[in-house]
């Protein structure tokens, strides 16, 4: 039986690298994969999933309001797909997570989603909340804080290097940087005494 998977992490944990490696493992065995990433994210160039260690693959994109069940059904009608990979899954809409779940159940194709669990304010992304609720299997892609503990939180630092505590959840192309921290050091960074 196909399953809906959610691989979650904080920033800079290497989730795109894990995704590309998993896709490669299928392709190496002669199976096709279908890669999707958020249309709003053009950091790695349009329609491309790139990892920080220098590997990348062409990818199709999903945008707001798009019916992903219909999209996967159409792709499958063009040829067999062993597994669907979705990067930047935190940007999925709640409805789109249901559409992916339906594709898993009715089209019998595994869907592996990769995304951030929480934003810089410590709040769940809507897409991640839905995936945490409805995935068949979840796995954490781990990275560490500067202290060596597991990092689960992220701060968004402004151009002055100081943590920002408000602003849009989604920010593309800004001068901000993100640092992954354990919860204790995140609380210190944002001034939670």
Query: How far apart, in whole angstroms, are the C-alpha atoms of residue 35 and residue 185?
Result: 35
Minimum distance between the CB of residue 185 and Zn ion, rounded to whole angstroms?
Answer: 4
Measured from the CB atom, is 155 or 182 closer to Zn ion?
Answer: 182
Which DSSP letter does residue 90 get? G
With CB under 5 A as the contact rule, the residue among 145, 154, 155, 179 that binds Zn ion is 145
* Segment near Zn ion (CB under 5 A); pick from 43-51, 74-82, 131-139, 177-185: 177-185
Q: Does 144 bind Zn ion (CB under 5 A)?
A: no
With CB under 5 A as the contact rule, the residue among 40, 133, 147, 170 that binds Zn ion is 147
As given in the structure block, the two tokens for residue 3 are: 């399953």
Minimum distance between the CB of residue 154 and Zn ion, rounded to whole angstroms?
Answer: 12
Minimum distance between the CB of residue 11 and Zn ion, rounded to whole angstroms?
Answer: 14
Query: How far apart, in whole angstroms, are the C-alpha atoms of residue 162 and residue 183?
Result: 17
Contacts within 8 Å (CB) and 24+ apart, 72-75: 72/34, 72/100, 72/103, 72/107, 72/109, 72/111, 73/103, 73/107, 75/34
Q: Which helix (H) or strand (E) holds 142?
A: none
Minimum distance between the CB of residue 165 and Zn ion, rounded to whole angstroms?
Answer: 19
Q: Footprint of Zn ion on residues 153-172 (CB under 5 A)?
A: none
Q: Is the dihedral of CA 162, 168, 172, 174 positive or negative?
A: negative
Helix locations, 112-156, DSSP H:
126-134
Known catalytic membership, residue 88: yes
Q: Of 66, 78, 88, 137, which residue is the catalytic one? A: 88
Measured from the CB atom, is 66 or 140 closer to Zn ion?
Answer: 140
CA-closest candidate to residue 82, choices 114, 111, 56, 102 = 111
Active-site residue numbers? 88
- The footprint of Zn ion (CB under 5 A) covers 145, 147, 149, 182, 185
């Amino acid at each position: 039986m196909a399953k809906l998977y959610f691989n979650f992490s904080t920033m800079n944990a290497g989730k795109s690298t894990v995704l590309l490696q998993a896709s490669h493992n299928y392709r190496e065995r002669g199976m096709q994969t279908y890669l999707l990433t958020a249309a709003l994210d053009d950091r790695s160039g349009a329609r491309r999933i790139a990892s920080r260690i220098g590997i990348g693959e062409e990818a199709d994109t999903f945008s707001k309001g798009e019916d992903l069940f219909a999209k996967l059904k159409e792709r499958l009608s063009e040829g067999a797909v062993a597994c669907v990979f979705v990067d930047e899954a935190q940007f999925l809409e709640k409805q789109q997570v249901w559409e992916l779940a339906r594709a898993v159940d009715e089209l019998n194709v595994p869907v592996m989603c990769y995304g951030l669990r929480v934003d810089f304010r410590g709040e769940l992304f809507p897409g991640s909340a839905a995936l945490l609720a409805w995935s068949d299997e979840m796995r954490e892609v781990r990275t560490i804080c500067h202290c060596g503990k597991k990092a689960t939180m992220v701060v968004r630092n402004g151009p002055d290097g100081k943590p920002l505590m408000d602003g849009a959840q989604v920010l593309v192309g800004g001068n901000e940087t993100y640092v992954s921290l354990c919860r204790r050091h995140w609380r210190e960074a944002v001034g939670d005494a």
